């Protein structure tokens, strides 16, 4: 007996070893499952757009978590009632099928389990005895390798549903026009019935057969207790769909861009709010149709809290003329839309205040003589009025003071990519503030989202898990300067065409700015509330001029209506930074802030201001210095600040924040810092340094 037990044990061990070797040598072929459609999903996991697989199939990944529990219940009750318990092959079904074959001389019912069907879907083969044995062996192998839910995922992704539809998700979208997460008994029964004979039961070609076979499945499921009598009556009374619907085609430009960056068959989850996206696409389409010249529309919406792109419209009609151009990424002239950032830097440097007076009068910078949009001049007015009226000359004067190179560098360090004309002099051109460099709508919206977040810039995140969300924010200006800009722009008067149709959503506090490029080629409007930033561009993809169409009348109404489509938010005004200077009028400002002096030297980076020997100059730290601090001392170590020249008292500002201790600065961590010194007359200079914390 001991010898027999030993032999049996050795035989079992040999069989197990042989099975393990065969499993290693002949693993299941998952190539069909891996050749899936690339999926781009919205924030809720619903399909925005899918792409066919390499063999031109709509093969959409679907697991048990993606379908209605009712469907899973009916599928298992109809196909494989002991699925959760058998090892891939159901012995009871095999015995029953064999007995029926012997008694009737022909196959009456099969013994195929869901796992065996999955094996056949992975590796199609003949239906003869040899094929069936191969299928059974593979089924056992799948059960040893994968969990029941993983096997269901294989089946739910590969099951045929007619034509080039594979998987329950593609079938539900094409036949029912919705995701399979919420199905009626009639819909679930149809999706159970179709894979048995997908071509013969196609609803769009053979609706009568499809309904008859679906009703048969309903009767079987009722007999087996999976459906109640009431559910049966309701389900049988429902018709089957008569046509195949197109799969979702939402945010096509964004989906195409993201799909190009990942391997085929990937699933990409975006931050897009599906309902908002569809509403904005309708708004863009309707707006484009209202333009007599057939101009296009692009829109980007950002959630300011995490810099997530929650809506993205690359063009008004993807299948229209030039509609496949992604105009949200195209570099176009922004006109006046960059002016707020020039004022923000001046506010940050402490040389300007919203109530400071500034001249709007003829001014010449060498060969360059800027003009206002209306070719008129307003004389002396406040900075607030100059920005709200989008006057060109004050903006150019401010950029001349802070330096166009510095202005351009600040935008680029914030994450924007600028495109200069071939014949331009580059970042040193004063015209940059009037649209002299191209920028994309995506980057423009990113910059305004930074203003909404107190001057802290960060790359936009287009998909969940994007590295952009892990980037350390970059300080463009301090909270005070950003607040000043927002306080000015929130007072911008809405266009008349919008005021006539304003909805309750317009109660948001929206700070916005418009822009129009030279020759009326591009019309812009970008606005932000505490929660969202909306950017809108209108124009022709080929740059055809649009006389009479400018940001205020062409883009701003679309932008404001876009806000009406966004989720509600708290309309309470944002917290005012502690160092904001609120005055009743210009006379209440410190003397050096009351009148902006355009003849003062440019704020330079690391060099003495031109033509002004007595301007302040930073002696320490020097421009471009790398300041290394030991980690153990970093939290308490203070760096001395030294300057010469200028009219005292001198004031120090780091990253837009005035220092309480005007003689020393305590770094708060790794990264770049901009240090500025300002004298009593408003003259200043600045340097940029880098702080490194070493162990």
- Name the residue ranges covered by the structural domains of the chain: 33-236, 282-564, 600-694
Query: Is the C-alpha dihedral spanning 490, 496, 498, 501 positive or negative?
Result: positive
Indicate if the pLDDT at residue 80 is higher than 50. Answer: yes
- Using pLDDT thresholds of 50, 70 and 90, give the confidence band for residue 572: confident
Count of beta carbons in the 10 Å neighbourhood of residue 69: 12
Cβ–Cβ under 8 Å, residues 151 and 143: yes
Q: Tell me what pLDDT residue 611 has.
A: 35
Helix (H, G, I), strand (E, B) or coil at 300: strand
Helix (H, G, I), strand (E, B) or coil at 19: helix
CA 284 – CA 316 distance, rounded (Å): 5
Each residue of 430-461: b (16+ CB within 10 Å) or e?
Answer: bbbbbbbbbbbbbbbbbbbbbbbbbbbbbbbb
Provide the β-strand partners of residue 308. 303, 461
Count of beta carbons in the 10 Å neighbourhood of residue 248: 22
Indicate if the pLDDT at residue 14 is higher than 70. Answer: no
Q: Tell me what pLDDT residue 112 has.
A: 85
Cβ–Cβ under 8 Å, residues 345 and 499: no
Q: Report which of 358, 350, 343, 305 is spatially closest to residue 485, judged by C-alpha positions.
A: 343
Q: What angle do CA 410, 349, 604 make, to 5 degrees?
A: 65
CA 209 – CA 215 distance, rounded (Å): 10
Q: Report which of 64, 69, 88 is spatially closest to residue 149, judged by C-alpha positions.
A: 64
Query: Which has more pLDDT, 268 or 501?
Result: 268
- Using pLDDT thresholds of 50, 70 and 90, give the confidence band for residue 426: low
Long-range contacts: 540-544, Cβ < 8 Å, 24+?
Answer: 540/293, 540/294, 540/295, 540/296, 540/322, 541/296, 541/315, 541/322, 541/325, 541/327, 541/330, 542/322, 543/332, 544/293
Which one from 112, 287, 333, 336 is the annotated catalytic residue?
A: 336
Helix (H, G, I), strand (E, B) or coil at 685: strand
Indicate if the pLDDT at residue 110 is higher than 60. Answer: no
To the query of whether residue 333 is one of the catalytic residues in this protein, the response is no
The yes/no answer on whether domain 600-694 falls in CATH 3.40.50.1100 is: no
Q: Tell me what pLDDT residue 498 has.
A: 66
Query: Which has more pLDDT, 644 or 391?
Result: 391
Count of beta carbons in the 10 Å neighbourhood of residue 581: 14
> Which of 142-151, 220-229, 366-375 is predicted least confidently?
366-375
Q: CA distances (Å), 415 to each of 409, 446, 460, 546, 656, in order?
A: 10, 8, 9, 30, 18
Indicate if the pLDDT at residue 517 is higher than 70. Answer: yes
Indicate if the pLDDT at residue 516 is higher than 50. Answer: yes
Count of beta carbons in the 10 Å neighbourhood of residue 647: 14
To the query of whether residue 492 is one of the catalytic residues in this protein, the response is no
Indicate if the pLDDT at residue 485 is higher than 90. Answer: yes
Which one from 79, 123, 234, 657 is the annotated catalytic residue?
A: 79
Cβ–Cβ under 8 Å, residues 515 and 548: no
Taken as a whole, the chain contains a residue count of 695
Q: Tell me what pLDDT residue 166 has.
A: 97
Which top CATH class is 282-564?
alpha beta
Instruction: Locate 26 and state its tokens.
Output: 């002949």
> Which of 188-202, 339-353, 354-368 is predicted least confidently?
354-368
Q: Tell me what pLDDT residue 103 has.
A: 60
Q: Which CATH superfamily is domain 33-236 in?
A: Biosynthetic peptidoglycan transglycosylase-like (1.10.3810.10)
Q: Report which of 409, 390, 412 is spatially closest to residue 343, judged by C-alpha positions.
A: 390
Sequential DSSP letters for 110-178: ----HHHHHHHHHS---SSHHHHHHHHHHHHHHHHHS-HHHHHHHHHHH-B-STTEESHHHHIIIIISS
CA 79 – CA 192 distance, rounded (Å): 9
Number of helices and strands (H, E) in the chain?
A: 23, 23
CA 581 – CA 634 distance, rounded (Å): 32
Indicate if the pLDDT at residue 108 is higher than 50. Answer: no
Q: What percentage of the chain has pLDDT greater than the value 70?
A: 87
Q: Tell me what pLDDT residue 18 has.
A: 44
- Give the E-state strand segments of 611-658 in sequence order: 617-620, 626-630, 639-640, 642-644, 651-654, 657-658
Q: What percentage of the chain has pLDDT greater than the value 90?
A: 64
CA 365 – CA 430 distance, rounded (Å): 9
Query: Which has more pLDDT, 614 or 647?
Result: 647
Indicate if the pLDDT at residue 636 is higher than 90. Answer: no
Indicate if the pLDDT at residue 471 is higher than 60. Answer: yes
Q: Tell me what pLDDT residue 650 has.
A: 84
Assess whether the previous peptide bond of 649 is cis (omega < 30° from 0).
yes
Cβ–Cβ under 8 Å, residues 619 and 642: yes
> Which of 306-315, 423-432, 494-503 is predicted least confidently?
494-503
pLDDT tens figures, 612-624: 346 788 877 877 7
Average pLDDT, the chain: 87
CA 411 – CA 80 distance, rounded (Å): 62
């Amino acid at each position: 007996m001991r010898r027999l037990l030993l032999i049996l044990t050795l035989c079992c061990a040999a069989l197990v070893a042989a099975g393990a070797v065969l499993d290693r040598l002949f693993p299941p072929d998952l190539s069909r499952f891996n050749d899936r459609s690339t999926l781009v999903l919205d924030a809720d996991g619903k399909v925005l757009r899918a792409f066919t697989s390499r063999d031109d199939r709509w093969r959409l990944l679907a697991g048990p978590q993606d379908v209605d529990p009712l469907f899973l219940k009916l599928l298992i009750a109809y196909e494989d009632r002991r699925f959760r318990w058998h090892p891939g092959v159901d012995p009871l079904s095999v015995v029953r099928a064999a007995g029926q074959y012997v008694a009737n001389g022909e196959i009456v019912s099969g013994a195929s389990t869901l796992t065996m069907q999955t094996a056949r879907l992975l590796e199609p083969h003949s239906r003869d005895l040899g094929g069936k044995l191969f299928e059974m062996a593979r089924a056992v192998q799948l059960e040893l390798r994968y969990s029941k839910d993983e096997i269901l995922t294989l089946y739910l992704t590969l099951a045929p549903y007619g034509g080039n539809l594979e998987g329950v998700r593609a079938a539900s979208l094409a036949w029912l026009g919705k995701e399979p997460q919420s199905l009626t008994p009639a819909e679930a029964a149809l999706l159970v019935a179709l894979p048995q004979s997908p071509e013969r039961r196609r609803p769009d070609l053979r609706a009568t057969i499809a309904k008859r076979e679906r009703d048969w499945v309903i009767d079987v499921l009722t007999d087996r207790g999976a459906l109640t009598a009431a559910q049966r009556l309701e389900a049988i009374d429902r018709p089957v769909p008569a046509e195949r619907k197109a799969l979702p085609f939402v945010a096509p430009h964004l989906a195409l861009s993201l799909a190009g960056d990942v391997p085929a068959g990937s699933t990409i989850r975006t931050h897009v709010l599906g309902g908002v996206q569809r509403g904005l696409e309708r708004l863009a389409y309707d707006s484009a149709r209202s333009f007599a010249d057939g101009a296009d529309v692009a829109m980007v919406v950002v959630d300011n809290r995490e810099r997530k792109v929650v809506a993205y419209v690359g063009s008004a009609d993807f299948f229209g003329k030039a509609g496949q151009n992604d105009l949200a990424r195209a570099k176009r002239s922004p006109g006046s839309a960059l002016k707020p950032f020039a004022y923000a830097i001046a506010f940050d440097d402490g040389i300007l205040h919203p109530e400071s007076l500034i001249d709007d009068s003829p001014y010449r910078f060498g060969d360059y003589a800027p003009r206002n949009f209306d070719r008129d001049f307003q004389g002396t007015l406040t900075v607030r009025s100059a920005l709200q009226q989008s006057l060109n000359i004050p903006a150019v004067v401010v950029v001349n003071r802070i330096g166009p190179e510095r202005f351009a560098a600040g935008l680029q360090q914030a994450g924007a990519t600028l495109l200069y004309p071939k014949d331009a002099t580059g970042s040193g051109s004063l015209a940059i503030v009037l649209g002299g460099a191209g920028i994309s709508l995506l980057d423009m919206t990113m910059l305004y989202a930074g203003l909404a977040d107190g001057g802290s810039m960060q790359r936009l995140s287009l998909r969940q898990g994007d590295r952009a969300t892990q980037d350390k924010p970059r300080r463009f200006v301090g909270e005070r300067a950003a607040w000043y800009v927002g306080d000015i722009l929130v007072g911008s008067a809405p266009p008349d065409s919008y005021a006539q149709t304003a909805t309750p959503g317009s109660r948001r506090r929206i700070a916005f700015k418009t822009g129009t490029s030279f020759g009326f080629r591009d019309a812009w409007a970008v606005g932000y509330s505490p929660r969202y930033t909306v950017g809108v561009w209108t124009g022709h993809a080929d740059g055809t001029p649009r006389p009479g169409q400018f940001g205020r009348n062409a883009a701003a109404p679309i932008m404001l209506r876009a806000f009406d489509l966004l989720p509600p938010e708290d309309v309470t005004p944002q917290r005012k930074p502690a160092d904001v200077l609120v005055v009743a009028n210009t006379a209440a400002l410190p003397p050096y802030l009351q009148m902006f002096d355009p003849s003062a030297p440019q704020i330079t980076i690391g060099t003495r201001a031109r033509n002004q020997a007595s301007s302040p100059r930073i002696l320490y730290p020097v421009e471009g210095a790398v300041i290394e601090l030991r980690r153990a001392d970093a939290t308490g170590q203070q760096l001395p600040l030294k300057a010469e020249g200028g009219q005292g008292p001198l004031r120090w500002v780091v990253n837009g924040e005035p220092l309480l201790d005007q003689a020393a600065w305590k770094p708060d961590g790794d990264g770049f810092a901009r240090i500025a010194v300002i004298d009593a007359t408003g003259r200043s200079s600045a340097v940029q340094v880098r702080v490194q914390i070493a162990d």
